[in-house]
Amino acid sequence: MKAALHAEWTKLRTVRGCLWLLVGMAAVTVAASAAATSVSTCSSPGCGGDVTLLSLFGVEFGQALAAVLAVLVIGGEYGSGMIRATVAAVPRRGVVFAAKSVVVSGVVVAAGTVAVLGSLLAGRFVLPGRGFTAAHGHAPPSLADGPTLRAAAGSVLYLVLIALIGLGVAAVVRDSATGIGLVLGLLYLLPVIGGVVGDPGLRRVLATFAPTSAGLGVRATTDLAGLPLAPWAGLAVTAGWAAVALTVGGVLLKARDV
Amino acid sequence: MNPLMRRERGPLSGPGIVVAGLRKRYGSAQALDGMSFSVRPGVVTGFVGPNGAGKSTTMRAILGLSAVEAGTALIGGTPYRRLRRPLTHVGSLLDAGALHPGRSARDHLLWLAHSQGLGARRVDAVIGQVGLASVAGRKAGGFSLGMRQRLGIAAALLGDPPIVMLDEPFNGMDPEGIIWMRGLLRGLAGQGRAVLVSSHLMSEVQDTAGHLVVAGRGRAVADASVAELVASASGGRVVLRTTAAARAMGLLARAGATVASDGGESVTVAGLSAERVVALLNTNAVPFSEVSAHRASLEEVYLELTREAVEYRAATSEVPR
Amino acid sequence: MIASRSGRDGFLPVLRAEWTKFRTVRGWVAAMSAAALMMVLVALLAGMSGGPRNGSPVPIGPGGEAVTDSFYLAHRTLSGDGGITVAVASLETVLPSGPGGMEPGVVPWAKAGIIFKRSTDQGSSYVAIMVTPGHGVRMQYDYTGDIAGPASPTAAPRWLRLERSGDAVTGYASADGTRWTEVATVRPRDLGGTVHGGLFVASPASVDGPGTLPSVSTADFTGLGVHGGWSAADWTGTQIGPDSPTFAGYPPPASGAFTDDGGRLTLTGSGDIAPATREILATGGTLRDILTGTFPALVAVMVVGTLFITTEYRQNLIHVTLTADPGRGRTLAAKAIVLAVAAFATGLTGALAGGLLGTWLAEAGGVYVFPVPLSAALRVALGTAALLAAASVLALAAGAILRRGAAAVTAVFAVVVLPYLLIAVPFTPSAVSNAVARMTPGAAFAVQQTLTPYDQVDSVYTPYTGYYPLEPWAGLAVLAVYAAAGLTAAAVLLRRRDA
């Protein structure tokens, strides 16, 4: 396993595209978060709003790049035929898959931490100027605050889980472009459909079981009762999706010819 | 001027390929450096040279896939990209893996046929010709390399072209397949087609090709018939084994030969045929135990011709594409 | 470059070859079918979800459109011809401020004036002339009709008069009650022989960022005079349409009122008499929402569009393609046509089936769906199909330029799907979503617009609510320009680069 991990790590770090995707993920997250905070306003005391959620808004977009990266880690090997060399070098495919999962998780944790901390920092910088001041009942987001710390750590975990979903899907479809289309469709389709479903029950079901809307609740620090699921429970739903994707992907990787 | 370069023999009698002065550079590597040769109808032309000598680049240039900085590659006088229904002029196989893995073999040929205005009947004909009829409906992605080669050959023959150009067609073929391929190539040439076949192994083409173009460092270092090549390398030399070396050397030198001795019983004679040497020795009662023609193998010729290119390759260790 | 020998007559075989290529890869055909299926499934999901079953029905105006018909009216009946004259002495509006508090505010389309209405039922035909704080004197009729009168001077009173003669009603305005200006003569669709005539006050919701605030207005009227066949009864104050899906009610503690203080009449009212917008009728469905399945379909056709060329690069099949037909621009054009036709057929099938089924299901479930004229419905169906076609061509161009499936799919997601998402989420600022819907390929979704924005109604007109800044076909043209530019760049690169 150690050798397989080392091999996967070497593979990942020697392809420049991966580094760019990680940098892009952090940049997109911070930029989208900063954009969201700089268009929000709080004009009076009790204006509502969740400064942490607002500051971490960019995770909605950063997740796309985490998913793309993960899909490429597997899809790229199928595209180039390198998968054959990989399983020739490490014939136990479960180990290969596990090593890929670990390496992808590791780099996404690293880049996700940068993204989340950068977003919170941007929020601290921007929000007071938009009226989210102590006088209006808002403290700037701070990791010393328990719920904010949970939101930050949860967001990093969320990004990892989304990447793992991407990894599983890629192992199923064995093609980068198709994998990216499927994963991004999954990430964004259910929330969009949820917006047009009029039936409240059905809408709640969608919000509860969609990987994005359930998991992204981990960013909230106020008005938790309004979430479809409690923060950690929501993240558990996303983890469930990741587990299913990884299991199906792993089983198929073992069962099928490469 | 390299003595093995073909001398001008006037215009081509039928459709063929004329490559003249192709030059192309990939970054700092000169992939083609004045590549010139021609391919004639009715004969299999072997295009040999070590990896990186420019064979594939030349073929890509002939097909208009790669742009060249200088030179021309003409098909019966026309650049490939101006041909109408090009597959009816040139059939080619560059890469047997060039197919969509999810499409069946027959469907792969079908779209190609449609692009040339040909019908499904022609598809079935070439499928039969290459012996893939039983697997035509299967996804090409599951084919072995040998089967893909056959499918690629079928695609090359689809337009019944007077010119056929194959890049390393023997790759991945089993012995039976190689024999089949040789027969096919001879047959195609026998029908009057111009056939260009590349290989990095002389042994693969020497029994099939009537004509050879040897590539090295981006140019043709030899362009001659197999007989010419062998003769030039052998130089018509005869090896004589005799206990009377001094007498024999004097006799043969007077008859106009160039002679050389290894100091022992062996004498190398150039400039006289073996029959003439035997006649002279018999007439003058010089004893000898053996007279044999020294024949260089094509492999030796090839190695000799391409040594420079191989050395170059080893020194740089990396030649793109 | 390409000689005339390989001209037009060479194109059909290439087209046929590309079509054969397309239809013989099962995954692509399956993806296209799945795209159409997703459009239908999402339409069913959107339609199935049932609305407020036992709520009041949505008021429908004489023109068939949904209307707001909730305001305060002081009325008597008028049989046959007759007239009414009054001066609006003041019109003041308050808006909610904090819990339970109200503060003075300005609502440009608050209305105080006189009206002839067929009945006190919601949606009945009417004609009215009124004073507004922001838009001067207006003469309005049958909800959608709106004629500007003289610009309002800052000083009250403002005199108004309506005269009925048969089917025609003429409105007049005056600053002093002696010199009158005719505003217009209109013929409402269905006023009937006896109308309810009188004074009215309406006070539509005030637009506040992405939402609205309810407002209440109070007007004083003086100098009321009538002539003709009026009933002898007293003026009766009535709240028209108190329980209506298009009326949010009075912000507490306010309520509608009418007092007659010796010739000085005072009305307090909220609501509006105008066509309904999406903001007011949030429960209403639109064809666009029913066709939300366009999003997954878009993803599918764009992935296929990308793969249609990138798999050729990956497998070096592009060499075979270009040796079979060396006309590179022509090959690309053939690919684009094949894709566009396939995506168009997919989109048309999905839009027609999804639109019809979803609308039928929604209406059967009691949901009000904003009505769509046949021409607009056809435009939506054809436009949606064209949208998918153009998007697939853009994806093909990206694939040809980038030559790598993953990169190309990511790129088209960024330029087409990201704008769609920015439009589809409620919290995007309207300035951003309007800019996105104007300049990015996402502008093409305007082709699905079925709502009409009205000048005489202030509302939240954003792409999210279903109002796009560009005309439907203009929006589609933006995407088409992107696709054409992409394809041109791809053709240039394809010719210039080694295959």
Position B317 scores a pLDDT of 40
Mutate to test the interface with A, among C45, C103, C295, C298 (most CBs of A within 10 A): C45
Measure the N-to-C terminal CA separation of chain A; round to a whole number of Å. 20
Higher pLDDT, A43 or A144: A144
Q: Is B274 within 8 Å of chain C by CB? A: no
Record: contact C13-B102, CB cut-off 8 A:
no
Residues C74 and C192 in one domain: yes
Number of H helices, E strands in chain A: 11, 0
Domain assignment present for residue B149? The answer is no
**Contacts of B7 by beta carbon, 8 Å cutoff, 6+ apart:** none
Residues B167 and B265 in one domain: no
Position B311 scores a pLDDT of 47
Residues C27 and C134 in one domain: no
Domain assignment present for residue C103? The answer is yes
B103 → closest Cβ in C18, C24, C326: C24
| Cα angle C441-C445-C449, degrees, rounded to a multiple of 5 | 150
Contacts of residue C306 in chain A, CB cutoff 8 Å?
Answer: 177
Residues C196 and C292 in one domain: no
Record: contact C406-A189, CB cut-off 8 A:
no
What domain range is C139 assigned to? 67-275
Residues B52 and B69 in one domain: yes
* Residue linked to tokens 């791809």: C490
> Is residue A46 scored above 90 in pLDDT?
no
For residue C226, which phi and psi values (nearest 5 degrees)?
-130, 155
B86 → closest Cβ in C3, C16, C324: C324
Percentage of residues in chain A with pLDDT exceeding 70? 97
Position C284 scores a pLDDT of 79
List, as one string, the DSSP characters of B23-78: EEEETTEEEEEEEEEEE-TTSEEEEE--TTSSHHHHHHHHTTSS--SEEEEEETTE
Tokens standing for B195?
């056939």
Position C52 scores a pLDDT of 55
Record: contact C315-B99, CB cut-off 8 A:
yes
Strand partners, C90: C220
Neighbour count for residue A76 (Cβ, 10 Å): 21
Record: contact C406-A79, CB cut-off 8 A:
yes
Q: Is C4 within 8 Å of chain B by CB? A: no
Query: C89: closest CA among C263, C274, C214, C254?
Result: C263
Contacts of residue A184 in chain C, CB cutoff 8 Å?
Answer: 299, 413, 417
Query: B150: closest CA among B165, B132, B125, B128?
Result: B132
Spatial separation of the C-alpha atoms in residues B111 and C97, rounded to whole Å: 71
Domain assignment present for residue C58? The answer is no
Q: Compute the nearest-CA separation of A51 from chain C (Å).
A: 15
Spatial separation of the C-alpha atoms in residues C293 and C404, rounded to whole Å: 27
Neighbour count for residue B279 (Cβ, 10 Å): 13
Q: Compute the nearest-CA separation of C32 from chain B (Å).
A: 16
Residues B288 and B309 in one domain: no
Domain assignment present for residue B189? The answer is yes
Tokens standing for A125?
């910088």
Tokens standing for A20?
């760019």
Query: A191: closest CA among A172, A167, A165, A217?
Result: A217
C317 → closest Cβ in B99, B104, B110: B99
Mutate to test the interface with C, among A180, A182, A212, A216 (most CBs of C within 10 A): A180
Position A240 scores a pLDDT of 96
Residue C36 DSSP one-character state: H
Reported as a single tens digit per residue, the pLDDT across C5-15 is: 444 457 888 99
Neighbour count for residue B318 (Cβ, 10 Å): 7
- Helices A146-173 & A59-80, crossing angle to 10 degrees? 30
Record: contact C410-A180, CB cut-off 8 A:
yes
Give the max Cα distance, chain C. Answer: 96
C437, C469 contact by CB (below 8 A): yes
Spatial separation of the C-alpha atoms in residues C405 and A170, rounded to whole Å: 13
Residues C94 and C112 in one domain: yes
Q: Is C312 within 8 Å of chain B by CB? A: yes
**Contacts of C38 by beta carbon, 8 Å cutoff, 6+ apart:** C293, C296, C297, C300, C350
Record: contact C316-B101, CB cut-off 8 A:
no
Record: contact C316-B82, CB cut-off 8 A:
no
Q: Write out chain B's pLDDT in tens, 321 residues.
A: 455 554 444 334 457 899 999 999 988 888 999 999 999 999 999 999 888 889 999 998 998 888 899 999 999 888 988 888 888 999 999 888 888 888 889 999 998 888 888 888 999 999 999 999 999 999 888 888 888 999 999 999 999 999 999 998 888 788 888 899 999 999 999 999 999 999 888 878 878 898 999 998 898 988 988 878 777 766 667 888 888 888 888 888 888 888 888 777 888 887 777 788 888 888 888 888 888 777 666 777 777 777 765 545 444 444 444
Q: Write out chain C's pLDDT in tens, 499 residues.
A: 333 344 445 788 899 999 999 999 999 999 999 999 999 999 998 887 655 555 678 899 998 889 999 999 999 999 999 999 999 999 999 988 766 678 898 899 999 999 999 999 999 999 999 999 889 899 999 999 999 888 765 556 689 999 999 999 999 999 888 889 899 999 999 898 899 999 999 999 988 777 788 899 999 999 999 999 999 888 999 999 888 888 888 887 788 899 988 889 999 999 999 999 988 887 778 899 899 999 999 999 999 999 999 999 888 888 888 888 888 888 999 999 999 999 999 999 999 999 999 999 988 888 888 889 999 999 999 999 999 999 999 999 999 999 988 889 989 988 988 888 888 877 777 888 889 999 999 999 999 999 989 999 988 888 888 899 999 999 999 999 999 999 999 999 998 888 7
Q: Compute the nearest-CA separation of C353 from chain B (Å).
A: 30
Closest chain C residue to the Cα of A201, Cα to Cα: C49
Position A237 scores a pLDDT of 94
Spatial separation of the C-alpha atoms in residues C38 and C390, rounded to whole Å: 19
Q: Which of A:60-119 have CB within 8 Å of C?
A: 61, 64, 68, 71-72, 75-76, 79
> Is residue A124 scored above 90 in pLDDT?
no
Residues B211 and B304 in one domain: yes
* Residue linked to tokens 């509608």: C256
Record: contact C498-B66, CB cut-off 8 A:
yes
Residue C54 DSSP one-character state: T
Domain assignment present for residue C56? The answer is no
Of C275, C309, C332, the last residue of a domain is C275
Domain assignment present for residue B10? The answer is no
Domain assignment present for residue C61? The answer is no
Record: contact B111-C5, CB cut-off 8 A:
no
Q: Is the dihedral of CA B218, B221, B223, B225 positive or negative?
A: negative
Residue C66 DSSP one-character state: B
Spatial separation of the C-alpha atoms in residues B153 and B136, rounded to whole Å: 14
Three-class secondary structure of residue C237 per DSSP: strand
User: What is the tally of structural domains in chain C?
Assistant: 2
Closest chain B residue to the Cα of C10, Cα to Cα: B84
Reported as a single tens digit per residue, the pLDDT across A65-86 is: 999 999 999 998 888 777 877 8
Reported as a single tens digit per residue, the pLDDT across C77-118 is: 999 999 999 999 999 999 887 666 788 988 999 999 999 999
Residues B28 and B51 in one domain: yes
Closest chain A residue to the Cα of C412, Cα to Cα: A181
Spatial separation of the C-alpha atoms in residues A183 and A252, rounded to whole Å: 17
Record: contact C322-B60, CB cut-off 8 A:
no
Helix (H) or strand (E) holding A27, with range, is helix A16-39
Q: How far is CA C426 from CA A49, C422, C460, C475, in A?
A: 15, 8, 11, 20
Q: Compute the nearest-CA separation of C300 from chain B (Å).
A: 18
For residue C351, which phi and psi values (nearest 5 degrees)?
-70, -45
Q: What is the ipTM of this complex?
A: 0.85
Tokens standing for B174?
């089993």
Record: contact C295-A189, CB cut-off 8 A:
yes
Spatial separation of the C-alpha atoms in residues A140 and A44, rounded to whole Å: 16
Contacts 24+ apart (CB under 8 A), B25-28: B25/B69, B26/B320, B26/B321, B27/B320
Residues B283 and B309 in one domain: no
Q: Which of A:163-192 have CB within 8 Å of C?
A: 175-178, 180-181, 184-185, 188-189, 191-192
Residues C92 and C205 in one domain: yes
Record: contact A193-C300, CB cut-off 8 A:
no
Q: What's the CATH number where B180 sits?
A: 3.40.50.300
Residues B267 and B212 in one domain: no
Domain assignment present for residue B112? The answer is no
Neighbour count for residue A87 (Cβ, 10 Å): 18
Query: A205: closest CA among A174, A229, A224?
Result: A229
Spatial separation of the C-alpha atoms in residues B172 and B155, rounded to whole Å: 18
Q: Is C309 within 8 Å of chain A by CB? A: no
Average per-residue pLDDT for chain A: 87
Q: Is A152 within 8 Å of chain C by CB? A: no
Domain assignment present for residue B201? The answer is yes
Residues C480 and C447 in one domain: yes
Residues C345 and C401 in one domain: yes
Domain assignment present for residue B80? The answer is yes
Domain assignment present for residue B62? The answer is yes
* Residue linked to tokens 């910088």: A125
Of C275, C292, C317, the last residue of a domain is C275
What is the length of chain A?
Answer: 258
Q: How far is CA B295 from CA B82, B204, B239, in A?
A: 45, 19, 10
User: What is the tally of structural domains in chain B?
Assistant: 2
Cα dihedral: B122, B127, B133, B139 (round 10): -110
Position B235 scores a pLDDT of 62
Position B265 scores a pLDDT of 82
Three-class secondary structure of residue C186 per DSSP: strand
Domain assignment present for residue B120? The answer is no
What domain range is B201 assigned to? 17-89+161-231+299-316
